[in-house]
Amino acid sequence: VYIHIYSYVLIFLFTCICMYVRRNNNNGEEEYAKVNWDELGFGLTPTDFMYVMKCSSKEGDEFLDGQLTPYGNIHLSPAAGVLNYGQGLFEGLKAYRREDGGIQVFRAEQNALRMKLGAERLCMPSPSVDQFLHALKLNVLANSRWVPPPGKGALYLRPMLMGSGAVLGLAPAPEYTFLIYASPVGNYHKGRTGMNIYVEDKLHRAIPGGTGGVKSITNYSPVFRAQKEAKAKGFTDVLFLDSVHGKYVEEDNVVSTPAIIDGTILPGVTRKSIIELATNFGYQFMIRVEYRTGKGALGQKLYERLAGIQTGFVEDNMGWTLKLN
């Protein structure tokens, strides 16, 4: 027990020393990692730290306080629930550097709430919203030198929740791990021009009553084949249709969006924010089935306002951003 506690103390002291040294380099200016920010794509660039927290059925499925650890591989049993039965989900959000040098994240509490809903669907315990936000803040501040300069990208944050305990029979795992790792990224889609999308009408990514409405890890690998074939034909990405009628898109539009009622559409944070912004602009937002779309001034206006709030270039009158100092 004493050795275990001693290890945690050493990790904590190591983290504090690293953060202190970095924040006091360059006459008090924040040190940036050695990254070509102008060439930053959407790929993995490992940062310094990740956050790890665990819970088990022996502890009443309550997550204990976690800790920052150096970024690296994790240990899993071959019989882990996440490896054998796909019992896992993830979230994705970004931290941006403002022009004043501060750092902010966008609507992180919505990701925390969505993780709780996903965990319930997959029979997993989940961190509380406060635990989620605390872990996120520690991760961002520990990796602050990896947050790109204003307008150069963002620090992508990947919170994960998985059944890490060993289980052979078809059942929930006896232990769970929550972790957050980070990577600096550029824009997923470069520029503001339209994308060349292939509409997939044979393969499906979600069915009514399934897990399409949560960020289960099982939702994503089935997309690879259709995506690979679409890109081989010269398309940017693939758009899936609903699995019942085969004609309605499964992603939301700008002013008209499908209702989230059958578990096939993810309740996206961006979707929710666009609805609220459009309403704030005085537009009526239609929740309905719609498969004829167009583009216009409203779409550009919504994009610019949302992106501006996210990055700190536009004042946040909606109370959506969490400033990390």
Please give the full DSSP string across 144-191, using - where no structure is assigned: GGGSPPTTS-EEEEEEEEEE-SB--SSS--SEEEEEEEEEEE--SS-S
CA–CA distances in Å: residue 36 to residues 43, 188, 215: 13, 17, 31
DSSP-assigned states of every residue in 103-131: EEEESHHHHHHHHHHHHHHTT-----HHH
Same domain, yes or no: 52 and 117: yes
25 shares a domain with 41? no
Type and span of the H or E element at 20: helix 2-23
Residues 53 and 140 in one domain: yes
Residues 176 and 256 in one domain: no
Whether residues 180 and 65 fall in one domain:
yes
d(CA 197, CA 269): 22
Separation between Cα atoms, residue 160 and residue 177, nearest integer Å: 8
Do residues 14 and 71 both lie within one domain? Answer: no
Helix/strand/coil percent split, the chain, to 5: 35, 20, 45
Total structural domains within the chain: 3
Q: So what's the pLDDT on residue 159?
A: 98
- List C-alpha distances in Å: 205 to 208, 241, 269: 11, 9, 20
Could you list the residue range(s) of the whole structural domain that residue 211 is in? 197-294
Whether residues 271 and 146 fall in one domain: no
Domain boundary among 157, 185, 213: 185
Q: Hey, which residues are catalytic here?
A: 215
Identify whether the C-beta of residue 312 lies closer than 8 Å to the C-beta of residue 99.
Answer: yes
234 φ/ψ sector (left φ>0, alpha ψ -120 to 50, else beta) = left
Kindly state whether residues 208 and 166 are assigned to the same domain. no
Q: What is the pLDDT of residue 132?
A: 97
Q: What is the CATH number of the domain that holds 149?
A: 3.30.470.10
Q: Determine the residue type at 114.
A: R
Burial of 147 (0-12, 13-18, 19+ CB in 10 A): buried
- Could you read off the pLDDT tens digit of each residue along the chain, which spans 325 residues? 555 555 555 655 665 655 555 555 444 455 899 999 999 998 999 999 999 999 987 777 889 889 999 999 999 999 999 999 999 999 999 999 999 999 999 889 999 999 999 999 999 999 999 999 999 999 999 999 999 999 999 999 999 999 999 999 999 999 999 999 999 999 766 655 667 888 887 777 777 777 778 899 998 888 899 899 999 999 988 887 765 554 445 444 444 555 555 565 666 777 777 677 666 656 555 555 544 455 556 667 777 788 888 888 888 778 888 888 7
Instruction: Yes or no: say if 172 and 89 are a contact pair by the CB < 8 Å rule.
Output: no
Burial of 67 (0-12, 13-18, 19+ CB in 10 A): middle
313 occurs within a structural domain: no
CA distance 297 to 295: 7
Rounded Cα distance, 48 and 209, in Å: 40
Q: Which two tokens stand for residue 263?
A: 């578990």
Instruction: Note whether 30 and 97 are within 8 A (CB).
Output: no
Q: Which amino acid is at 283?
A: Y
Whether residue 113 is found in the same domain as residue 249 = no
